[in-house]
Amino acid sequence: MDDDSAEIELLEQNLNKTHQISQRMTSILTNFDTRLVKLEKSILPLYNSTQKLKQRAHNIDRALLKIDEVASSQDGIAVEEGLVLRGPQLGQLEAYIDILERLNAAIAFKSSDADSRDMARLIETGAKKLTQLYTKLVAEGSSGSPPVSGLAFMLTEFPPSLMSSLTPLVAFLRTLPLPSTHPSHPAASAILNTLKDAQRGYADMRGSWSRKALEMHSRRVVDRAETLDGVAAGKEFSIWIDNLLKVTEAEYTLLAELAPLSSSTLIASTYDTLLTPLLTLFTDTLSSLTSLIKRSLHKYTFHALSAFSALTMSQNRWESVLAKRGREGNELRDGLNAIRGVCLRSFPEFLADLKLAAVGKGGDLSVGLADITVSTVQYLNRIPDVQDAVGSALSALGDGNWKMGDGKQVGKTNKSNSVDVNEKVLIQHFVYDVMNTLIGSLTTLSRTQRRPPFGSVFLINNVSHLVSHLVLRPTNPNTPSLLSKPTTDFLNSSWRTAKAGYFDASFSPLMQTLADDARDKTSGSGWKAAAKEKFTRFYDLLEEVGERHRIAKVLEEDPEERSAVGEEVVKLVIPSLQRFMQKQKEKEFSKNPQKYIKLSPEEVESRIRNFYS
């Protein structure tokens, strides 16, 4: 037992010694770790500085290698000079560009002014050779005849094969030293002038090419304008304007891609040069159209209105194109003002023509449609097709200022009494004045230039045509919207007046023979003789009316209305004839009535209806 206790005590002593040793070891390691942390903190800044020094040393070594490389290439300048002078060869553009890049790099590291001048001379020569290639490629894409697709215009893109060659070339030309980017480079100014010349040449070639593509269609628009309807001619002009704007927009996009000098100022200046032939073509085309219109304004009124409409609709696109050239001036505005002035003249002159039409030749027996009636109907039915242009022009003219000779001056509006009026209302006011003037002239012609019966047929035929083709069955479904209620009421009233005048002139003498007079109340044989005379006179006049209606057709173009008028005449004449016959038969005006009553009421009715068959 004592031995066991001794062993246990010995083990406890050993365990305590081991524990003490472990504690001392832990303390030593902790102290060592602390010192290591302090050492790391002390060494880290030195390490970072060393890394930076290594990087700088590496960069210096690379720079020295580059300098050595440039220096070693100096011996080959004579060879490179030959390559530069020969110019870029087919398929070797990249090699040529590499030579110029090496020369540019050599200038940056050479201290000798003589060497720099020699290399600058080579770089300038190389730049000229590259711009010559640039000009040649642009000329290939801008020469020959533009492709034609029948009579339609075809917008063609720059040839893709040439574009693929120009893209890397332009990219390098834009990196060449210029005074703004390399002020100390000996060749910078000469290179800038070379690139300016190349860019100016680009503008001249593309401008001429674009004009050539549009010129044939411009001539066609002007040549066809003389034979086409005004609205159709205006649509052709509008299409041409649209094609012109498409070309200008496409050329600006192409210029932005292919211009060697891509600064906004130089792009704007180049675009201005490119646009010059196109704007000249536009001005010439519009001037030709304007001259044609002025030659006979009444004939080409709708050419002017359609052209004005086309220019107005494209105004925003025009302004966008012209704003890109970086200078003042607006050829569209000048053209628009010129054509608008013609449009403003057309309205008072149209009314003046209607007034002058009242002065006829005299002794005219024709009862057909007057030229002014047909032309006015055509005029009013065309207005909806150019309603925006008509409304704009009338608004500029001023409400009522189209009435020349009525105390109005064209273009002068009483500002103190002026009120903003909707353009559609202005058109309605103008249409009312047109109808008022036209029917006034037709009425004058019917009274002063024709015998009354023929004049009444002339008036009813013309007024019926107006009502039929403007109110009841308009050629253009949008025309009735231009007729205000006063205009419609005036037309309907004029129709009723014309019809009453026709009845009065054609059948009033006939009806007067059937009317009672003083002789009917006399006794003896006097009233019998009067009755016989009236029957004779009635049938003579009926024959005369029939003959006149065979010559002067009533409402020939409107069978339905002609039949209705015939029905009214029957209702007007036949009842009176029946009463007159019955009255005279009862009085036994003759022992042989059939001698004087040549036709029965039924036969008279049949004959009257034949007037309108």
Task: Give the pLDDT confidence of 598-611 residue by residue, as tens digits.
Answer: 777 788 778 878 87
The predicted-structure confidence for 560-575, as pLDDT tens digits, reads as follows 888 888 888 888 887 8
- Answer yes or no: is pLDDT of 411 > 50: no
- Answer yes or no: is pLDDT of 299 > 60: yes
Name, in order, each residue with C-beta under 8 angstroms of 98's C-beta and a sequence gap of 6 or more. Answer: none
Nearest to 127 by CA among 174, 164, 92, 95: 174
The predicted-structure confidence for 107-127, as pLDDT tens digits, reads as follows 766 645 556 777 778 888 888
- Torsion angles phi and psi, residue 297, rounded to 5: -60, -40
- Answer yes or no: is pLDDT of 379 > 60: yes
For residues 586, 589, 595, 596, the Cα torsion angle rounded to the nearest 10 degrees is: -90
Q: Which of 178-187, 224-233, 252-261, 306-315 comes out lowest in average pLDDT?
A: 178-187
> Tell me, what's the pLDDT at 273?
93
Mean pLDDT of 521-534: 64
> Tell me, what's the pLDDT at 74?
52
- Torsion angles phi and psi, residue 180, rounded to 5: -75, -25
| Coil, strand or helix at 282 | helix
Mean pLDDT of 294-301: 87
Tokens of 66: 């580059």
Name, in order, each residue with C-beta under 8 angstroms of 193's C-beta and a sequence gap of 6 or more. Answer: none
> Tell me, what's the pLDDT at 363?
53
Mean pLDDT of 402-411: 56
pTM (predicted TM-score): 0.71
> Tell me, what's the pLDDT at 414?
44
The predicted-structure confidence for 127-166, as pLDDT tens digits, reads as follows 888 899 999 999 998 887 766 554 567 777 888 888 988 9
8 A C-beta contact, residue 342 and residue 307? no
> Tell me, what's the pLDDT at 408?
47
The predicted-structure confidence for 57-104, as pLDDT tens digits, reads as follows 788 877 777 666 555 555 555 566 777 777 787 678 888 888 777 877
Helices (H), 174-263: 188-225, 230-258
C-alpha–C-alpha distance, residues 351 and 88, integer Å:
72
Max intra-chain CA distance, the chain: 200
- Answer yes or no: is pLDDT of 415 > 50: no
Strands (E), 325-412: none
Q: Please tell me which of 195-204, 323-332, 360-369, 520-529 the model is most confident about, judged by mean pLDDT.
A: 195-204
8 A C-beta contact, residue 456 and residue 515? no
> Tell me, what's the pLDDT at 504?
83
Confidence of residue 590 (pLDDT cuts 50, 70, 90): low
- Answer yes or no: is pLDDT of 591 > 50: yes
> Tell me, what's the pLDDT at 362?
55
H/E element, 478: none
Mean pLDDT of 291-319: 89
Name, in order, each residue with C-beta under 8 angstroms of 89's C-beta and a sequence gap of 6 or more. Answer: 96
Confidence of residue 524 (pLDDT cuts 50, 70, 90): low
Residue that has been written with the tokens 């001379």 in this structure: 121
Could you report how far apart the first and last alpha carbons of the chain are, in Å? 163
Q: Which of 53-67, 327-341, 358-372, 451-465 comes out lowest in average pLDDT?
A: 358-372
C-alpha–C-alpha distance, residues 395 and 399, integer Å:
7
> Environment class of residue 349 by beta-carbon count within 10 Å: exposed (0-12), middle (13-18) or buried (19+)?
middle
Tokens of 175: 């990196």
User: Is the backbone of residue 148 left (phi > 0), alpha (psi -120 to 50) or beta?
Assistant: beta
Q: What is each CA distance from 82 to 79, 313, 337, 535, in whole angstroms? A: 5, 59, 61, 124
Helices (H), 142-187: 160-173
| Coil, strand or helix at 87 | coil
> Tell me, what's the pLDDT at 274?
93
- Answer yes or no: is pLDDT of 247 > 50: yes
- Torsion angles phi and psi, residue 407, rounded to 5: 80, 15
- Answer yes or no: is pLDDT of 436 > 90: yes
Mean pLDDT of 464-493: 90
> Environment class of residue 47 by beta-carbon count within 10 Å: exposed (0-12), middle (13-18) or buried (19+)?
exposed
> Tell me, what's the pLDDT at 109?
64
- Answer yes or no: is pLDDT of 517 > 70: no
Confidence of residue 204 (pLDDT cuts 50, 70, 90): very high
| Amino acid of residue 122 | L
Tokens of 594: 């059939």
Mean pLDDT of the chain: 81
Share of the chain above pLDDT 90, in %: 20
- Answer yes or no: is pLDDT of 407 > 60: no
Mean pLDDT of 487-491: 93
